[in-house]
Amino acid sequence: MSDNNRSGWRRLWQQPKSKWLLGIPLGAFLALVLGGIGVYGTQVVLHATSTDDFCMTCHSNHSLRDEVLASSHGNNSVGITVTCAQCHLPPGGFEYLVKKIIVSKDIIGYMTIDGFNTQEWLEANRKEQADLARDYLRSIDSRTCTSCHSNIYENQPESMKKVAKRMHAMNFKKTEDKRKTCIDCHKGVAHPYPKG
């Protein structure tokens, strides 16, 4: 490396003479810009992996999406179709990334489980898979559900059925460790829960 070049690099980390960078060394400024691009890239990836199409790339021969469309979460009077990610992935933050990494484990499953992407596999393994999904939702206290259903226990709408109000109120009165989570009482809200 020539002397000329070395002093060039050193200059990158020195205060610029002009005021336009508010006195931030140019190197730090570049690091900020590149870091910004990195965060943006991560956002793009997270976004792309949160669509139903992404989920259905591996689950393409499973009836999962049709089941949602036939359920109250796809076919309702309010005109909302709930996405896979809205129920299965926690909203935002660190947790979200952790769950993504766990989903990435499915890449190995996808490549190694014999006949995974067939309806027969889904039906044969539905109970086990449903319980895995339920374990996860239980571990986050069904928080994906409550991000939409925010008035179950308090400020309940007039229109909520009497029996629903009563059951919800009864559950809410219990101490937190005794309280049931949404999916303990509500099975099969989007896919038919297997019997037995």
Indicate if the alpha-carbon torsion angle 166, 171, 172, 173 is positive or negative.
Answer: positive
- Binding residue for ligand HEC (CB under 6 A) from 12, 31, 97, 113? 113
**Is residue 65 involved in binding ligand HEC (CB under 6 A)?**
yes
Structure tokens belonging to residue 167: 């059951």
114 annotated ligand-binding residue:
no
**Closest distance between ligand HEC and the C-beta of residue 98, in Å?**
13
User: 63-72 — which CB contacts under 8 Å span 24+ positions?
Assistant: 63/119, 63/122, 64/122, 64/191, 67/190, 67/191, 67/192, 68/190, 68/191, 71/189, 71/190, 71/191, 72/189
148 annotated ligand-binding residue:
yes
Q: Report d(CA 61, CA 44) in Å as an integer.
A: 26
Through-space distance between the first and last CA atoms of the chain, rounded to whole angstroms: 73
Q: Report d(CA 126, CA 194) in Å as an integer.
A: 7
Binding-site string for ligand HEC from residue 70 to residue 109, where x marks contact by CB under 6 A and - marks none: --xx--xxx-x-x-xxxxxx-------------x-xxx-x
Three-state secondary structure along 85-116?
HHHHCCCCHHHHHHHHHHHHHHHHHHHHCCCC
Positions 13 through 42 that interact with ligand HEC (CB under 6 A): none
Q: Is the Cβ of residue 38 or residue 188 nearer to ligand HEC in the bound state?
A: 188
> Considering CB under 6 A, how many residues would be counted as binding ligand HEC?
66
User: Annotated binding residues, as ranges?
Assistant: 55, 58, 84, 87-88, 99, 106, 145, 148-149, 182, 185-186, 191
User: Annotated binding residues for heme, as ranges?
Assistant: 55, 58, 84, 87-88, 106, 145, 148-149, 182, 185-186, 191
Give residues in contact with ligand HEC (CB under 6 A): 52, 54-55, 57-59, 64-65, 68, 72-73, 76-78, 80, 82, 84-89, 103, 105-107, 109-110, 113, 116, 126, 129-130, 132-134, 136-137, 142, 144-149, 152, 159-161, 163-164, 167-168, 171, 180, 182-191, 193
